[in-house]
Amino acid sequence: MEERFRDERLSDEERVEDLVGRMTLEEKASQLKHNAPAVKRLGIPYYNWWNEALHGVARAGAATVFPQPIGLAASFDDEFLEEIGGVIATEGRAKYNEQVRKGDRGLYKGLTFWSPNINLFRDPRWGRGHETYGEDPYLTSRMGVAFIKGLQGKGKRLKSAACVKHFAAHSGPEKGRHSFDSIVSKKDLAESYFPAFEACVREAKVEGVMGGYNCINGEPACGSYHLIQEILRDKWGFEGYYVSDCGAIKDFHKNHMITKDEEESAALALKSGCDLNCGAVYLYVLSAYERGLLSEEDIDKAVKHVMTTRMRLGMFDAETEYDSIPYEENDTPKHHMSALKAAEESMVLLKNDGILPLKKEKLKAVAVIGPNGDSREILKGNYNGTSTEHYTILDGIRREVGDSVRVYYSEGCHLYRENVEALAEADDRISEAVSMAQRSDVVFLCLGLDARLEGEEGDANNSYAGADKIDLEFPDSQKRLMEAVCNTGKPVVFLISTGSAMNLSYAKEHGSAILQTWYPGQMGGIAAANLLFGKAVPSGKLPVTFYHSAKELPDFEDYSMKNRTYRYMESRAQYPFGYGLSYGTFEYSRLKAETGTWDKKDRIKVTVQVTNTSSYDCDEIAQIYIKLTGSELAVPNASLTQFKRVSLKAGETKELCFEVKTSCFQVVDQEGNRQWEETDTVLYAGGSQPDEVSVSLTGKKPVEIRIKAEDRFAG
């Protein structure tokens, strides 16, 4: 019989229908595991679905390592992030093509990337928060959509298949995540947790969605018919495959105690719409069928979804446009330069008393001090590939100053260790660090964490709370070091490498400058040096709020948005979302918005003029915020609703045009429905959000216009 599933003249739907129709029940059930065996009689090879590409092709050898997503979010550069996604897909295809030729189809070798992580970074204690694009649903949606479009490409076939995770409300705690139940109101789901997922499904047509380990309002995320079928597929139109997080379906009976055994768990997940199991529970699909818990139609539905994804990747075509990408396209110098640009754009200048940019011709000696000064770990983040070229902060500064400036280096202290032997050793290294600081014109104090201290459950090798942070404080070893170095009286530039917010009060009071580097990828050291010495101008903005302490935060396990993130917080931030300094200065003027019949339009136009009033050619991130007044249902503070990275030459003025979705001007009721109310609107435009702290730190107040309710709806 003719194998119609090989006929490229037919639609994918027709080909998949033919393919699945040729498979036995046993063969179909076998394809629902992440390590799907070959079906030799049909010429279907073994395929392992599990691959990662959070900020570069991960866990599969040599690849370009870009900044961790929290840093990419700080760039507010969604256009460039789409390019980065394209680079990662190219490297993924180059590696896949070579590996297939070698018969290597193992773990981390496929084209289904379980990235990006678009969970809302609602609490800075969450260890995996640096995998995300921050705390704002709009910024997260824009970055997620861009990255997915880059990964999946614009060709006839998918260049690679992206997968958003972890649907839908998942952001810690890591410890106990296998039994945790996230209690979330319908309003908070619709207003904060859902928007990025909806955008990635509707706009980017993301191919995969991964469910979390947790329950959401009593239902397991990988076994909720309401979430998977009614919301994701029926309401948003998702047409791809749904996969469990690894081991999540086992939690149904082991930890959530919702089912009694493997067969019941497999049946609940499959009938709810979870097509693919990362784990072993779907080994029991056939026995669940034999017990009458599943029908063949249930199995067929899932198999068609997973086989459609493989079809869209061109795995049953004679040849695709991507099959000719050679291995030489992996880990190239050009891609490394993209990683450098991304790192430069990602770093955020939080304080500068005028010391930066430094002029090396005025320096005789500098000191690079701290446990992250020569750390390769901070370059990696987590879910990382293996860089073949990498530069620590010490490397970057040495390269920049050359032989003309003496560079002293001391680790200063251990990153976190506090046992008796380490304390004695730390005192010795602190003494060394002080000696070097005293001999230097400027000290670069490199502090923070790395992905061994904040990350996924089980990854941490420390006293932290299962890879979550217990608070926002630096380890005591680093506190002693910063005090000793600052007490020398030398100018200190703090370089903070973390994936999340920390209490920077000491650095803010005693430092001459603070540069937040995040986990900056393989070129991070050169990027930092370029910014410190003026080869590049800082332009990054914070994608998360920096708080004074964890005491300001609600309980970590509380998923209500009350007093969380900049949109709902009731206290003053230490450093606010959207904030970041530049060597340039900018003026905003002539803010305008079209009025009338907003309820009849999908978008309205907002324009503003931005002028570079400095002597630097540099980038500015123009941000548009709105605040609705007069409704108890409105978000209490201003909300980001558009942004644009713009390059301006010294003295140049540009008029920027933004298209703002009118849904931004609606409120969300307690049932999670968006609706129009007779609210007045305040529209802001500036280089930061319109809060008191941002105005105080920047000395600039965003321009604003006020629009009455009657002007929004007038004919």
As averages over each run of 10 residues, the pLDDT of the chain (715 residues) reads 91 98 98 98 97 97 98 98 98 98 96 98 97 98 98 97 97 93 98 98 98 98 98 98 98 98 98 98 98 98 98 97 98 98 98 98 98 98 97 98 97 81 62 97 98 82 71 95 98 98 98 98 98 98 97 96 97 98 98 91 96 98 97 97 98 98 96 95 97 96 94 71
Contact 348, 540 (CB under 8 A): yes
Catalytic annotation on 599?
no
What domains, with CATH codes, occur in the chain?
Answer: 26-329 (3.20.20.300), 347-544 (3.40.50.1700), 586-713 (2.60.40.10)
683 beta partners:
626, 705
The predicted pLDDT at position 644 comes to 98
Q: Which two tokens stand for residue 603?
A: 């978008």
Catalytic annotation on 594?
no
Alpha-carbon distance values, 384 to 45, 61, 64, 131, 712 (Å)? 27, 10, 9, 11, 47
135, 331, 377, 454: which one is catalytic?
A: 454
The predicted pLDDT at position 344 comes to 98
Nearest to 63 by CA among 71, 55, 74, 73: 55
Rounded CA separation 607/658 (Å): 6
The predicted pLDDT at position 482 comes to 97
Q: Which two tokens stand for residue 278?
A: 């990362």
User: For the chain, first and last CA: distance in Å?
Assistant: 64
The predicted pLDDT at position 553 comes to 96
Phi, psi angle pair for 330, to nearest 5°: -95, 135
The predicted pLDDT at position 711 comes to 84
91, 131, 188, 245: which one is catalytic?
A: 245
Task: Identify whether 475 is preceded by a cis peptide bond (ω within 30 of 0).
Answer: no
The predicted pLDDT at position 418 comes to 65
The predicted pLDDT at position 425 comes to 53
**What SS3 class is residue 202?**
helix
Q: Which two tokens stand for residue 640?
A: 């980001």
The predicted pLDDT at position 417 comes to 81
707 beta partners:
681
The predicted pLDDT at position 460 comes to 52
334 beta partners:
none
**495 DSSP assignment:** E
